[in-house]
Structures are given as C-alpha cells and as structure tokens.
Structure 1
Amino acid sequence: MIVPDRPATAAHVAVHYDELDLAYRRMWGDHVHHGYWRSGKETPQEAAAALAVLVEEHLALRPGHRVCDIGCGYGATAAAILGRHDVTIVGLTLSAAQQRIADGRAPGFAWLLRDWLGNGLERASFDRAYAIESSEHMTDKGRFFTEARRILRPGGRLVVCAWLEGPHVTPWQVRHLLLPICREGRLPSMGSREDYVDLAARAGFVLTGYQDISRQVRRTWLLCLMRLMKGLAIDRDIRRLALSRATRSRDFMFSLPRLLIASRTGAMRYGVFQWEAR
C-alpha cells in the first residue's frame, strides 16, 4: 500500500472536486473516470461511456435491483445504467459541485452529499454496488469494504474500478510517481491488487472476477494532458484556475505528465474487480 506522509482527508477530496469542477467538465465531460478503448477506434466520449458499460456487464443487473453508486460524480454512469435497466440507484458524493449536476439527473436516481465511510444507509438494503475510481479517495480502505458488505444483501455483487500500485514497482517509481500522484490527486493511499483482494476477503467478499485493463485505458492521460495544454492556451477560465495561487488543488493539473508516465511504465495499473457478498 502506497501511503503519502500527509494523507488526504475527505475534506481535501471534496475541495479538490469542487475547485476543479470546471476543469473536469470542460476537459473530460460528465464521466469523471478513465475511457475504455475496446477496439481503439472509439472517440473519447465513446470510450468514457464504454467503461460504464463494462461495469454494467459485471453487475449483471436484474429488474427491480437496488443499486448503490459509491462516489457517483455527476451521475452520468447512473443515468446511463437507468436508461437501459429497470433498477433504482442511490449515489453518494463528497462534492457539492458534482451534486448540483447530479440532482435530477434521471428518474430512479437519488443522490446523497455524504462520506461513504459514514453513509448511514440501511444494512442489507442493496442488491448491487459499484465504485468507479472512488475507492482510491477513501481514508480507510478496509472500512470501504466493510461498509459495502454491510449494505449489500447476501449474494449481492460489488464491482470496483481502481487505480492500483503496479507489481514490482521500483523505489524510484514510488518516490517520483506514485507518492506524488497520491498527494496531488488527494488519494490517502494507493493499494495493489493483492491489497484489495485481502481487504475485501476480510470484509466478507469472495472474488469472482478480475480484469487488468491498463492498456485499454491509458490513452486517457495523454488526452487529458493535450486538453490541458489547449485549455491553457485558449481558455481564460482554465488558465485562471491553473495559475491562481488561490486554487489549492491546482497541483493535480500539473501532475498529468506523471500520471501518463506511471500508466505507460506499469507503475500504476488499472483493475476491475467483481466480488460476491458471502
């Protein structure tokens, strides 16, 4: 587990997404997650939507299912799922800026402005749950899984897409790539595949599937870097956000080259987990 010397708190994560809301939406859109290039010919928008479809496939949804979106962002993934399935979804986010967009996103979608680690949801009240690139922001990853197990019914399914520490990372990669990525991205820690499997098993989950899709998603960071450079050149709002000392989260905008290198060298991997609640 990669843990920076001053781990981020939930409040830091909320500030990060509130401050960079404009940049996220202008540079990437409503899906605040990686793109997934199945064929390599998808547009960035199609690739972002494809990752949501991949999660949907792992969830194996049935009519009437109650689903929890852990870290729902702007609600785009939930809205896409609701457009194809007769289910209901409850989403949680720390960001008031994201909540304003998610509010009223789609019939059957309800949002909560709430920390997942203090979610207050009823025990065994959901059939499915998913977390797309939100577990990284949890201050206690063990509790992330125990809360997921608590709200799921026995036999329920949890699907998690996560940035992961790669196998056999070097001390240089840890010091110059992964630790700064954690600090700049407001990640309290970055776990490995083995960390996630172990923590989930302790919480009462059985691993039923895993995909490493690092190669299919890594184009995301090159696109983000290109869009940032373009934004700095022609978008006054992006330039002001990036250059203002008042923007506490601006360091993440300049961490994109680091993320690109980490994803291309294997220091950072991207995994899709599927678990069943015992």
Structure 2
Amino acid sequence: MIVPQTPQDAVAVAGHYDELDPVYRRVWGEHVHHGLWETGRETPAQAVEALVETVGDRLRLRPGEACVDIGCGYGATARQLAAGRGVRVTGFTLSAVQARHAAAHPTPGVEIHHRDWFANALPEGSADAAWAIESTEHMADKPRFFAEAHRVLSPGGRLVVCAWLADPAASEWTVRHLLEPVCREGRLPSMGTREEYEAMARAAGFTVTGYEDVSRRVARTWTICARRLLKALAMDRDARRLALRGRHRVFAVTVPRLIQAYRTGAMRYGIFTLAAAGEDAAPE
C-alpha cells in the first residue's frame, strides 16, 4: 500500500473537490472518472460513458433493482444507469458542491446524499448492486469500505470497483517521484495493489468473480486533460488562480505525473467484479 507522507482524510478530500470544482468540470465534465476507449475513435464524452456502461454490464443490472453509487460525484453515473437500465440509485458524495450540482439536475429514480459512505445509514441487505468508480482511493479505511458494502448488499448482491492501483513491482524511484506525490497531491490516503484489494474484499465476505486491467484503454484520459488544462490556464484567470495558487497549486503538476505513471506501468487501472455470499457468488 502506497501511503502519502502527508496524511489525507475525508475533510481534505471534500475540500479538494469543492474548491477545484470549476476546474474539474471545465477540464473533464460531470463524470469525474477516466474514459474507456474500446476502438480508440470515441470522443472523450463517449469514452466516459463507455466506462459507466462497462460497470453496468459487469453488474448485470436489471430494471427495478436498488443500487448504490459509492462516491457518486456529480451524479452523472447514477443518472446514466438509472435512465438507461431502469434501476433506482442512491448516491453518496463527500463534496457539498457536487451534491448541490446533483440536486440541480434531478432524475427519476436517483437520490444523491451529501454524506460519508461510512455513515450511509442504509439498512442491511437493502441493495441489489453497488459500484465505486475511483472513490476507494479517497478512503483511508479500505477494509471498512468493503465491509460496509457487504453489509448493505443483499445475499448474492454484486459490487464493481474501478480503482487506481499501484504496481506491486514499482521501483523505489517511481514510488518516490510518481505514486507518493499522486497520493499526496490528489488527496488519496493510500493506493493499493490488485492483490491487496482482492484480499480486503475476500476478508469482508466477497467472492472475486472477475478482474480486468484496462490501463491501456483509460490512460489517454490524462493527455486529453493535460491539453484542456493548458488551454484553461491560458484563457481563464480563475482557472489559473485555482490550479496554480494556494493549497491546490500542485493540481497542474499531478496530471503529468499521472501520464508518466501509466507510461511506466507504475500505476494500473483495474475493474473488480465481486459478489456477496449467495447464489450469484460463484466465480465466472
């Protein structure tokens, strides 16, 4: 597990997304996660939606199911899957700004809460499926994340986790100059490996039914972000103030680090498909 030199917590994560909200939405939009390129010809908007559809496919979502979006951001993923798959979604975000944006874009079947996942207040066994797209990185207690997801899911319930992962063979140089700074600058309390995630999931009672490394198909997210960020910095004084000054000034430096982390293989992007104990928990 890669742990940053400066400890990060939920307050720091919320502040990061609240204060950088204008930059995130201008540079990438309402989906605060990677895009997934299947053919290489997709637009960025199509690519981010493709990742959401991949999650929906892995979960085998059925109309009417109760779902949970853990770390839902602006609610874009919840809205897409509710509208396209006919499911009901309850989402949780630490960011007050993201929650207000979601409230301003209501969608039937979607309910977004400004609340920590560890205080979700959902009844035990109340959800059929859940997903966490690039949110576990921001949780200091990852075993507790899996335990809480297992509590909320019904027997046989499905969970998909899309996560930034550290290569277990990453060199000391890449850890020091790429992965640790990415954690510190991106407000990640830790970055785990595939093996660590699977061990935590199993300890919580999940069966790992699938895993896919899609690093090569998501990596271009950051080259696109870099170009858009440079344009925003050149044209927008407010963007320059947010991205280059104050406690978030490292944001502009983090993007090149992420590009290099993918190029060196020090960082991976994995999609885990998990099942709670029950009839649907047999490995694929």
Is the TM-score greater than 0.5? yes
Structure 1 unaligned regions, length at least 5: none
Q: How big is each residue's C-alpha offset from its partner over 1:71-92, in whole Å with a ceiling of 9 and x where there is no partner?
A: 0001111111111122110000
Give the match for residue 199 of structure 1.
200
* 1:161 match: secondary structure: strand
Match of residue 107 from structure 1? 108
Cα pair 1:15 1:249 within 8 Å, conserved: no
RMSD of aligned Cα (Å): 0.9
Residue aligning to 2:39: 39
Q: TM-score, normalised by structure 1?
A: 0.97
* 1:20-39 → structure 2 map (5 Å cutoff): 20-39=20-39
- How many residue pairs end up in the alignment? 276
Structure 1 partner of 2:170: 169
Percent identity reads 58
Counterpart mapping for 1:221-260 below 5 A: 221-245=222-246, 248-260=247-259
C-alpha contact (below 8 Å) 2:23/2:243 kept by paired residues: no
Contact 2:64 2:86 in 1 (8 A): yes
Unaligned runs of 5+ in 2: 278-284
Deviations 1:63-109 (A, max 9, x none): 22100000000111111111112211000000011001111431110
Residue 275 of structure 1 aligns to which amino acid in structure 2?
L
> What SS class does the counterpart of residue 107 from structure 2 fall into?
coil
Which letter maps to 2:249?
R
Q: Report Cα offsets for 1:160-205 as digits up to 9, x if no partner.
A: 0000001310000111110000000000000000000000000000
Amino acid at match of 2:89: I
**Aligned residue identity for 1:130:** W
Q: 1:92 is aligned with what amino acid?
A: F
Normalised TM-score (structure 2): 0.95
In structure 1, distance between residues paired with 2:2 and 2:151: 26
- 1:212 paired with 2:221, answer no
**Structure 1 segments (4+ residues) deviating >4 Å:** none
Cα deviation, residue 34, structure 1: 0.3
**1:143 positional shift:** 0.3
How far 1:252 sits from its partner (Å)?
2.2
Distance in 2 (CA, whole Å) between partners of 1:223 and 1:98 is 22
